[in-house]
Amino acid sequence: MDVNGTLFWYYNICKREVWLMTRQIVPDQQDDNISFGRFLHETTYQRNKKEILFGNVKFDVILEKGDHLVIGETKKSSHYSEASRWQLMYYLQVLKNAGIQASGQLLYPQEKKREAVELTEENETKLEQMRQDIIRIAEKEIPPEPIQCQYCRKCGYEEYCWA
């Protein structure tokens, strides 16, 4: 199966979300958090931004220095920074596998903050472990049980899990 950056993000938030996403059970698109995230992505950092589609990966190039790229991922809040870091590292790995050296920046326009992300060998090993675990979760017949966590309140699946 095709494990994309979004699944790496969900994996670091909630394993149940991974299963739901892989079954195309999409969260409530009218959910305020989802709508706002989309708005933010479409309207911020427009001046420097070139959106690139590379295989199944879409990201923003925010800087080019010679043959070195810096790619960006815009997020609403640093509350999910750990998940965002892994998503961006996955993008860096895709580029690396294609022979392109790049580093990353997480962009939090609302907080006026940027965070540098580098891909290390150790993190590549962790990415591979996550990829295998995502496949294992996706192949389960039923989703992992919901586990109440700090992310539930702002999750598009909240009603589905807890109503």
How many residues bind to ligand SF4 according to rule CB under 6 A?
A: 12
- 157: Cα within 13 Å, side-chain hemisphere: 22
The answer to the question of residue 17 lying near ligand SF4 (CB under 6 A) is yes
- Sole window of 59-67, 83-91, 102-110, 154-162 interacting with ligand SF4 (rule: CB under 6 A): 154-162
The answer to the question of residue 157 lying near ligand SF4 (CB under 6 A) is yes
Whichever of 40 and 83 has its CB closer to ligand SF4, that residue is: 83
The answer to the question of residue 19 lying near ligand SF4 (CB under 6 A) is no
- Sole window of 90-98, 112-120, 122-130, 152-160 interacting with ligand SF4 (rule: CB under 6 A): 152-160
- 84: Cα within 13 Å, side-chain hemisphere: 21
Torsions phi, psi for 2 (to 5 deg): -90, 105
Sorted by sequence, the CB contacts under 8 Å of residue 77 that are 6+ apart come out as 108, 110, 111
Q: What angle do CA 117, 119, 121 make, to 5 degrees?
A: 150
Distance CA 73, CA 40 (A): 11
Whichever of 98 and 149 has its CB closer to ligand SF4, that residue is: 149
List residues binding ligand SF4 (CB under 6 A): 14, 16-17, 146-147, 149, 151-152, 155, 157-158, 161
